[in-house]
Chain A
Amino acid sequence: KAGVTQTPRYLIKTRGQQVTLSCSPISGHRSVSWYQQTPGQGLQFLFEYFSETQRNKGNFPGRFSGRQFSNSRSEMNVSTLELGDSALYLCASSLGAGAKGPTNEKLFFGSGTQLSVL
């Protein structure tokens, strides 16, 4: 079974630009979550999507947005990039609601997209 796939692997942008990152979850997983990882703040939750709906959101500005498609694939967008947005952006998938028990909560992560803002 293929794991979580994120593209691109690396990205370099300049301040003020926008960027779109893509995530394909594990087959059968309906929930996709996004996290930001930086040396200063560690791993922080951005948002979660299930059935094309955002169900949960972390404490990030509105410049960070996302969406999920009917095949559960997800994209996140960051507009008006700032230097502080440089980070590893991780996508994780899980079964999502409806399946109770540990397997419902277990998040499987992709390798991430390393974004550098110059």
Chain B
Amino acid sequence: GESVGLHLPTLSVQEGDNSIINCAYSNSASDYFIWYKQESGKGPQFIIDIRSNMDKRQGQRVTVLLNKTVKHLSLQIAATQPGDSAVYFCAENIRHAGGTSYGKLTFGQGTILTVHP
């Protein structure tokens, strides 16, 4: 049958505004979370990560917040620029014995961020 495409959430902001992208994760055993940015025609690009023993981590213009109680993750981008326009994915994984997740990340559906000049 015909496949139905994912309807990605969208966020539209003005240049200079702060952006907040939200993500709900599924597995309470997940202990590592990553945000990726994907521009058209490119693969996902690492933005920032956070472990489950933290609730906040800051990078350059970006902050990730983790709320394990409600299994929620957010990415805050300060002073959003047109170059930030892309699809943003959160991803989660579980580390197994030996300290590896064996390459498997579970990705969210993504959020389309559009920044208007």
Contact = CB atoms under 8 A, between A and B. Distances in A.
A15 to B, nearest CB: 16
Contact of B107 (A39, A43, A102, A108): A43
B42 A111 contact: yes
Contact of B46 (A31, A99, A108): A108
A111 B5 CA distance: 21
Given A43-B89, A102-B51, A105-B49, A55 B6 contact: no
Contacts, number: 88
Given A42-B110, A102-B32, A106-B46, A31 B103 contact: yes
B79 to A, nearest CB: 25
Interface in B4-46: 4-6, 32, 34, 36, 41-46
Interface size class of B (residues with CB under 8 A): 20 to 34
B102 A107 contact: no
A29 to B, nearest CB: 11
- Residue from B3, B43, B98, B99 with most neighbouring chain A CB atoms (10 Å): B43
> Chain A interface: which size bin?
35 or more
Interface string A1-20: 00010000000000000000
Nearest to A38: B3
Contacts of A106: 34, 46, 49
Interface of B: 3-6, 32, 34, 36, 41-46, 49, 51, 89, 91, 93, 95, 98-110
